Amino acid sequence: MKKPKYQLIVDFIKEKISKGEWAIGSRIPSQRKLAKMFVVNRSTVITALEELMAEGLIEGKAGMGTVVTNNTWTLMGNQSSLNWTENISLGTHKPSILTVQEINEAESDNNLIQLSKGELSPDTFPLEEMKSIIQKVSEQLTPFGYEEPKGNIKLREAISDYLKNRGMDVSPSSILVVSGALQALHLISIGLLQRGSTVFLEIPSYLYSLTVFQSAGMMLKGIRMDKEGIMVDSIYPINEKGKSILYTIPSFHNPTGTLMQEKRRNDVIEYCEREQLPIIEDDVYRDLWIDAPPPESLKSRDRYGNVLYLGSLSKTLSPGLRIGWIVGSESVINRLSDLKMQSDYGSSTLSQLVATEWLSCGLYNRHLENVRQQLKVRRNKALEALNKHLQFYATWEIPKGGLFIWIKVKPQFKVKKLFDKALSKGILLNPGSIYAEHSGHFIRLSYGAASLDEIEDGVYQLSEIIKNQ
Amino acid sequence: MKKPKYQLIVDFIKEKISKGEWAIGSRIPSQRKLAKMFVVNRSTVITALEELMAEGLIEGKAGMGTVVTNNTWTLMGNQSSLNWTENISLGTHKPSILTVQEINEAESDNNLIQLSKGELSPDTFPLEEMKSIIQKVSEQLTPFGYEEPKGNIKLREAISDYLKNRGMDVSPSSILVVSGALQALHLISIGLLQRGSTVFLEIPSYLYSLTVFQSAGMMLKGIRMDKEGIMVDSIYPINEKGKSILYTIPSFHNPTGTLMQEKRRNDVIEYCEREQLPIIEDDVYRDLWIDAPPPESLKSRDRYGNVLYLGSLSKTLSPGLRIGWIVGSESVINRLSDLKMQSDYGSSTLSQLVATEWLSCGLYNRHLENVRQQLKVRRNKALEALNKHLQFYATWEIPKGGLFIWIKVKPQFKVKKLFDKALSKGILLNPGSIYAEHSGHFIRLSYGAASLDEIEDGVYQLSEIIKNQ
């Protein structure tokens, strides 16, 4: 005899609870989610939940949804059980912003049109080259254990050469291999700044969508930008030494796409030298230029070791490698490498070997040429679609590289509503609000991930939503 | 004409300073190190340093060694420059303990006899299998980007099966893939405990040699052990809920090698359930049993989701993969996976694919059999050498698995001196003092990494040092 459907749900939840996977105090999935999981009506879910409530295993709590209140053992022994849920809200580090969590989750949904993802499309992935490089690495493999604290020396040499080609003369001992630029920020936040420090940054900025510095007890302070980049005049007077830092993305800024100009770069460097304000230069989009190479980095203008420079293979090759680097004064790099060891004992050997091979065999530069061609087609397609469908409803600048177009929707349209509506129609985009409080009228459109048809279709559908709003 | 040798040193240091790699305020290498680097007498180094001092670039500072005070630009412009060195001591996270830093550095010195390293010898590395697995992974490769927050689902399924074989019934959704057990501790420290919390742990414990919990503002409180494991009675009365946690290594404890017995495991679980004390079970040595499999884990006795369980491939296969896992209640795992995303956006795809293949193709279990055989030979060799050379000077227990023998040197011998002396003779071992304040008379000897001859030779030389002390 087949079990009734509600019983399947009861059994499933009981098992989760009794194995301790859904601990006491934790929320169970919403009725909507359960109905979807089991492909049943909501009424069937309700029948199941009522039975579990009757058994005393779950309980509806105001503002919390339905939570686990007991398990078979606590019921038996009448024993109060540990409540992990309390711990979840205790840690010093904040959870991600809710909208960001929602976007993160939706980004792995392949049925959506991804106008959100800040990464290259799988079409751009150099599969054959990657395969042959991995095979080469496996042929040359020797037994491997923990890596050197700063990262594999061959990889650091390859990064040093790579940087030399981009105007930066840096020894391998001044380079720390990290698992991407985000980890670099995490290490800097716990290792170089005291609680209460100020992080100056462009407004809007990608960094606002993260909680990395706030979690470490720092404040973010926005600096205005114009088309040339950060406006130096708008940096507030700086408080005591060692209590502030400037975070900037001078090349193909995320989310606005702005490219900081030559003169502005010199101004920023001069200002920061004079004011003894250290700089974090996040330069992960440098290689994604479309029309012309960007001006030289701030780091290449840095005569005092004032700039910590971040680079990565995530945006150009694949984020799955988890390989990036921090460049800075040796004493700073030593401190950060100790913290890297403390937090994960270094990055994956396999990833480091594969990255070394990519950077040193010439394939990387060839791959970049291909990426740039494809990005140009994609950007132009996006601009064409925007001109066709959105020119009366929005304005934007033409990005000269990177992955993003920063679109200002005319004030009468509510972008939060646009985001929700678009998502319900299968289009994922990033609302400007996650990048700065007063960026509510903007959306960030990525032309890197979706297909050309999807870009056209996505922009068209956005325009329809706006028209009908 | 060839430059004089001292000039080479001057030029080298000037370049480092002018490039900003040796920032103002940072210490330059010791005279001894420079002499070694340039293969010159110390007097040549002194000549070079005197010239640099005369130019105003460096300065000897009391208690600091020689530091960079200017660079060519600051001298030119008479401009005061940023002092990164201040920042280095500012971050919230502490640097590693000095002796530990010293050991970390010495562990990459292949000329030393490694009685210190807590990892398997390269002889045990399954090179051919690893090569063939990497090739298989490369053949089946598809374009890859960011992984799911909890880690590749195939890997989590493989870990779930692996755990099932060890008595733990856990769904993939209750598993978080991390870059080794240390990262697990880092995430727990910043995500689940508030500042001022207490971490109970065995005394001595590996955890004392780390600063992960102290950096996050927690206190460590030692619990006494006997031969059966943690003594439950010696856990202090617990303060408020959510403010303490127990960290334990029940199987082949690091550094003592102790194996917690069946009954004691039940006692610990019961005590912690009653007192609502959550447990971190660090079980990374489980598979390294030599004589017989250890009793089932605490996790497999856990009916309330009270235990966070840590496992890893670092001790059994290779630390270079950087693959480990945390198992716990789903809500806790969700919180930790959000933090994992915040700190590094997930672990390397390549490592995850290779780990999946190892766990699911049956090679891992075959590899473990081989490892156990080799470990048995190594342990027996170490015991034989100890009996032969050290029986009048020290005592120890026979470990039933894992990598370590915890040796109590008779009180009249000073272990710190023994450590220094041994290092000067080319033998690296871990002094007990890094694992607990009052473990000064112990040394931790690893039989995992050195060759059989080196184990014999190392122990013999230790005995000679002790005899002559």
| pLDDT surpassing 70 at residue A121 | yes
ipTM reported for the complex, 2 dp:
0.86
Q: Which two tokens stand for residue B133?
A: 């697995």
Which of A24, A331, A351 lies closest to B350 in CB terms? A351
| DSSP character at residue B93 | S
Residues of B within 8 A of A22 (CB-CB) are: 305, 329-331
Residues of A within 8 A of B104 (CB-CB) are: 149, 341
> Distance, in angstroms, between A230 CA and closest chain B CA?
21
| DSSP character at residue B193 | -
Question: Which residue matches tokens 């079409």?
Answer: A123
A95 upstream amide cis, omega within 30 of 0: no
In terms of Cα–Cα distance, which of B344, B316, B406 is closest to B119? B316
Residue in chain A nearest B87 by alpha carbon? A192
Which of A20, A138, A344 lies closest to B329 in CB terms? A20
Every domain of chain A and the residues it spans: 5-88, 98-123+366-468, 142-362
**CATH fold group of domain B5-88:** Arc Repressor Mutant, subunit A (1.10.10)
Per-residue confidence (pLDDT) for residue B54, from 0 to 100: 81
**Per-residue pLDDT tens over the stretch B336-365:** 998 898 889 999 999 999 999 999 998 999
Class of domain A142-362: alpha beta
Across the interface, whether the CB atoms of B81 and A276 are under 8 A apart is answered yes
Question: Which residue matches tokens 């970390």?
Answer: B104
Residue in chain A nearest B174 by alpha carbon? A21
Residues A335 and B91: their CA atoms lie apart, in Å, by 10
Q: Which of A71, A80, A86, A88 to mutate to test the interface with B (most CBs of B within 10 A)?
A: A88
Residues B66 and B58: their CA atoms lie apart, in Å, by 7
Pairing of strands B113-114, B427-428: parallel
Residues of B within 8 A of A329 (CB-CB) are: 20-23, 26, 84
Residues B217 and B219: their CA atoms lie apart, in Å, by 7
Q: Which of B17, B284, B348, B353 to mutate to test the interface with A (most CBs of A within 10 A)?
A: B348
Residues A256 and A404: their CA atoms lie apart, in Å, by 7
In terms of Cα–Cα distance, which of A38, A76, A44, A72 is closest to A58? A72
Residues of B within 8 A of A81 (CB-CB) are: 273, 276, 304, 306
Across the interface, whether the CB atoms of A95 and B338 are under 8 A apart is answered yes
Residues A105 and B218: their CA atoms lie apart, in Å, by 32
Question: Which residue matches tokens 């420059």?
Answer: B81
> Distance, in angstroms, between B214 CA and closest chain A CA?
12
> Distance, in angstroms, between B466 CA and closest chain A CA?
31
Confidence of residue B83 (pLDDT cuts 50, 70, 90): low
Q: Which of A17, A28, A92 to mutate to test the interface with B (most CBs of B within 10 A)?
A: A92
| Ranges A135-139, B116-120, B303-307, most confident | A135-139
> Distance, in angstroms, between B168 CA and closest chain A CA?
10
Confidence of residue A87 (pLDDT cuts 50, 70, 90): low
Q: CB neighbours of B426 closer than 8 A, spacing ≥ 6?
A: B111, B112, B113
Q: Taking the CA of residue A469 as centre, how many other CA atoms within 13 Å lie in the half-sphere pointing to its CB?
A: 22
* Mean pLDDT rounded to a whole number for chain A: 89
Are the C-beta atoms of A50 and A56 separated by less than 8 Å?
Answer: no
Q: If you write DSSP's letter for every residue of A55-95 in order, what string do you get?
A: TTSEEEETTTEEEE---HHHHHHT-----HHHHHTTSSSPP
Residues of A within 8 A of B129 (CB-CB) are: none
Residue in chain A nearest B122 by alpha carbon? A143
Dihedral (Cα; A160, A165, A168, A170), 10-degree rounding: 20
Residue in chain B nearest A210 by alpha carbon? B342
- Section A128-133 average pLDDT: 97
Per-residue confidence (pLDDT) for residue A78, from 0 to 100: 37
Dihedrals phi, psi of A408, to nearest 5 degrees: -95, 115
* Mean pLDDT rounded to a whole number for chain B: 89
Strand partners, B146: none
High-pLDDT (> 90) share of chain B, %: 57
Q: Which of A33, A146, A173 to mutate to test the interface with B (most CBs of B within 10 A)?
A: A146
Are the C-beta atoms of B31 and B45 separated by less than 8 Å?
Answer: yes
Per-residue confidence (pLDDT) for residue B241, from 0 to 100: 60
Per-residue confidence (pLDDT) for residue B77, from 0 to 100: 42
- Section B35-40 average pLDDT: 90
Strands (E), A7-57: none
Across the interface, whether the CB atoms of B82 and A305 are under 8 A apart is answered yes
> Distance, in angstroms, between B185 CA and closest chain A CA?
8
Residues of B within 8 A of A87 (CB-CB) are: 192-193, 242, 278, 332
Q: How many CB pairs under 8 A join A and B?
A: 380
Across the interface, whether the CB atoms of A145 and B320 are under 8 A apart is answered yes
Strands (E), A283-398: 307-312, 324-327, 394-396
Q: If you write DSSP's letter for every residue of B194-237 in order, what string do you get?
A: -TT-EEEEESS-GGGG--HHHHTT-EEEEE-EETTEE-GGGSPP
Q: If you write DSSP's letter for every residue of A258-279 in order, what string do you get?
A: ----HHHHHHHHHHHHHHT--E
Provide the CA B405 distance to its chain's centre, in angstroms.
Answer: 17
The answer to whether the Cα torsion of B346, B348, B353, B358 is positive or negative is negative
Residue B257 is which amino acid? G
Provide the CA B110 distance to its chain's centre, in angstroms.
Answer: 18
Residues of A within 8 A of B197 (CB-CB) are: 90
Provide the CA A386 distance to its chain's centre, in angstroms.
Answer: 25
Least confident of A78-92, B5-19, B376-390: A78-92
Residues of A within 8 A of B107 (CB-CB) are: 146
Across the interface, whether the CB atoms of B329 and A179 are under 8 A apart is answered no
Burial string for B53-68 (b: 16+ CB within 10 Å, else e) reads: eeeebbeeeeeeebbb
Per-residue confidence (pLDDT) for residue A77, from 0 to 100: 42
Are the C-beta atoms of B281 and B315 separated by less than 8 Å?
Answer: no
- CATH architecture designation of domain B98-123+366-467: Alpha-Beta Complex (3.90)
Residues of A within 8 A of B278 (CB-CB) are: 82, 84, 87
Are the C-beta atoms of A168 and A327 separated by less than 8 Å?
Answer: yes
Across the interface, whether the CB atoms of A320 and B170 are under 8 A apart is answered no
Q: A102 in helix, strand or coil?
A: helix
Residues of A within 8 A of B26 (CB-CB) are: 329-331
Across the interface, whether the CB atoms of B23 and A351 are under 8 A apart is answered no
Angle between helices A5-18 and A42-54 (to 10 degrees): 50
Least confident of A371-375, A411-415, B156-160: A411-415
**Per-residue pLDDT tens over the stretch A240-269:** 666 889 999 999 999 999 999 999 999 999
Residue in chain B nearest A168 by alpha carbon? B19
Strand partners, A326: A176, A310
Across the interface, whether the CB atoms of B96 and A338 are under 8 A apart is answered yes
In terms of Cα–Cα distance, which of B326, B312, B91 is closest to A340? B91
Strand partners, A50: none
Q: Which two tokens stand for residue B442?
A: 């112990």
Q: Which of B303, B350, B371 to mutate to test the interface with A (most CBs of A within 10 A)?
A: B350
Q: B450 in helix, strand or coil?
A: coil
Least confident of A252-266, A292-306, A376-390, B22-36: B22-36
Residue A462 is which amino acid? L
| Residue of higher predicted confidence among A384 and A5 | A384
Dihedrals phi, psi of A200, to nearest 5 degrees: -80, 145
Per-residue confidence (pLDDT) for residue B76, from 0 to 100: 47
| DSSP character at residue B124 | G
Residues of B within 8 A of A128 (CB-CB) are: none
Per-residue confidence (pLDDT) for residue B81, from 0 to 100: 45
Pairing of strands A279-282, A244-248: parallel
| Residue of higher predicted confidence among A61 and A377 | A377
CA distances (Å), origin A385, targets A252, A390, B69: 21, 8, 57
Residue in chain A nearest B300 by alpha carbon? A19
- Section A23-31 average pLDDT: 85
CATH placement of domain B142-364: 3.40.640.10
Strand partners, A246: A200, A279
> Distance, in angstroms, between A298 CA and closest chain B CA?
13
How many other C-beta atoms can be found within 10 angstroms of the C-beta atom of residue A305? 31
Per-residue confidence (pLDDT) for residue B314, from 0 to 100: 96
Homologous superfamily assigned to A98-123+366-468? Aspartate Aminotransferase, domain 1 (3.90.1150.10)
Residues B427 and B113: their CA atoms lie apart, in Å, by 5
**Per-residue pLDDT tens over the stretch B265-317:** 999 999 998 888 899 999 999 999 999 999 999 999 998 888 999 999 999 99
Are the C-beta atoms of B227 and B274 separated by less than 8 Å?
Answer: no
Q: Which two tokens stand for residue A240?
A: 């005591």
Q: Which of B345, B352, B367 to mutate to test the interface with A (most CBs of A within 10 A)?
A: B345
> Distance, in angstroms, between A175 CA and closest chain B CA?
10
How many other C-beta atoms can be found within 10 angstroms of the C-beta atom of residue A151? 24
Across the interface, whether the CB atoms of A93 and B351 are under 8 A apart is answered no
How many other C-beta atoms can be found within 10 angstroms of the C-beta atom of residue B84? 26
Per-residue confidence (pLDDT) for residue A66, from 0 to 100: 87
pTM of the shown model: 0.86
> Distance, in angstroms, between B279 CA and closest chain A CA?
11
Q: Taking the CA of residue A267 as centre, how many other CA atoms within 13 Å lie in the half-sphere pointing to its CB?
A: 14
Which of B91, B127, B194 lies closest to A191 in CB terms? B91
Q: What is the CA radius of gyration of chain A?
A: 25
Q: Which of B206, B303, B325 to mutate to test the interface with A (most CBs of A within 10 A)?
A: B303
Per-residue confidence (pLDDT) for residue B300, from 0 to 100: 96
Q: One fold for both A5-88 and A142-362? A: no
In terms of Cα–Cα distance, which of B403, B406, B407, B409 is closest to B379? B403
Least confident of A156-160, A438-442, B252-256: A438-442
Per-residue confidence (pLDDT) for residue A52, from 0 to 100: 87
Across the interface, whether the CB atoms of B305 and A84 are under 8 A apart is answered yes
